[in-house]
Chains A and B, each alone.
Chain A
Amino acid sequence: MDIYVILKQTFDTEEKIIVEDGTISEDGVQYVINPYDEYAVEEAIQKREELGGNVYVIAVGPERTSEALRTALAMGADEAVLISDERIGSDENTISKVLAAYFEGQKVDFILGGYFSVDNGAGQVAIRLAQLLDIPHVGSITKLDISNDKALADRDAEGDLEQVEVTLPAVFNAQQGLNEPRYPSLPGIMKAKRKPLQQLTLDDLDIEESELIPKTARKDLFLPPQKEAGQILKGETAEQVKELVEKLQHDAKVL
């Protein structure tokens, strides 16, 4: 099986966001594999262990993304590819077209990605990619079974569960609960250093310049107003509860 993972490197979710000169400061920030993509990497490795084959991890992003790819290799992926080029930008349409250009001509059994990235959170790229490659996708999966040229996946739909069967090749987006991602082992980290990590630019891909023109643009970036600490209620618990209910009835229209 040729199993692919599309991966993004993101801020650790415990990071605070600091805006400087209209952009988000990257000073001293800890980076991780986007948590949803980590489930995708784990699932890909488990499926290779079950079915045989190779796991390829593909990322579009700045040079630092190679750290995240090394981590995926240390977890057990076989090969990694980083497509890094300043002309790419952050528009989801462009990124999906760059990925589609990469996948053109690759033999693919299935592609795993995260449900969304915890930074931008748009949740577009993997689904757009499936459309561009003209293959089916299942979004937000919590279970995946592969047999021959078919896959059976559980899709989490706002708490409801859909059992979806698709023919391969297909794209699957990992939701929480799909698996427990492993930590890279020490031998895994050592091995990862020798595994192939190929770096590509747009010049290596067959893509028109016109595809790179972003269809959306950011006009402004701001932090939400800081919520001020309110009131800690005092007195006996029963009195506090009574006071709280009165306050909520006064403040909130829904009650």
Chain B
Amino acid sequence: MKIHEYQAKELFRKFGIPTSKGVMVTDPGRAPEAAAEVGYPCVVKAQVHVGGRGKAGGVKLAKNEEELKRHAGAILGMDIKGLVVERVLVDEAVDIARELYLGVILDRASKYPVFMVSAAGGVDIEEVAAKTPEKILMLPVDPAVGFWPHHGRRLAGFLSEDPGIQKQLADFLEKLYRLFIATDASLAEINPCVITSDGRATAIDAKINFDDNALFRQPDVEAMRDLSAEDPLELKAKDAGLSYVKLSGDVGCIVNGAGLAMTTMDLIKHFGSEPANFLDVGGSSDPAKVLVAMEIVTADPDVRAILLNIFGGITRCDDIAAGLLAALKKRPLEIPLVVRLTGTNEDRGRAMLAEAGITAGVNLDEAVQKAVAAAREGR
């Protein structure tokens, strides 16, 4: 789960991490009130879940109220990579001497929380990692042991030679680690953390992603979720216990299991078309899920044919058939449907469908080819 910069900064303040002053507004008319708290000059920053907002014109400096109103008015409602800006952060403009990169990730490869820090802040860190890896220090911390002062000294020593700044950064990083573990974050990134001209370490940007699997024990994190920033069909799928991702093709697919669902997409492409979506109905055997899955896929106007691909393990083919028949009864299909049904209780499932005049295949390659051909005819 992602949160906005202003929310990440609120969390930072809660954990005692020095952060630039800022106020979030949704209405350009309220921006001057916000500026009264942070002072001029200030920075107006679009709050969207996408990178590259600066280049897109979503970050502007305002020296006075007139500029502030103009920038806030222009940025609110702006479209950045398909997302409409509904909130801006009016943030303190800090006097910058140096820019650092500070990050923590849950690293899949080493299986530790790993600090990544660099004195080359304010730029694309992946580019730094690719071109000048020696400018980045990576340091794993064993969560069973925790963050100790030597971790802080090592990281801070890499970033600065000034003992006063080292001390601030070590403290900063320890608090960042505490926040990371306490909130079940999967990534916390400060790019940049600046050293001000009067020698203070301050976060002027903040990005935190959280582990979705841990939200059950993080109600405060869950409460920060911005539903307006998420795709409505993906949300509907999630509420029903499905995972759905919209893609750009015209063959819709409904599959049980994520690996098989991705494979089905790949086969659609292999046989000459493009998948309209990823949709995994999950491992359980609930007819209601098939019903919702059919609703979601048919709601996509690009879909020209639907492929239902089930290899029953836990999922029982008769339950799938019952769900499909219920969906068709509720809303008859106007586009072709190809069914591939095999595995647990397949005879019963196939018989139920046959009664309703639907032929279910067994072979995966054949079913995909049939669906691709049907979509082509429907174009």
* Mutual binders A and B: no
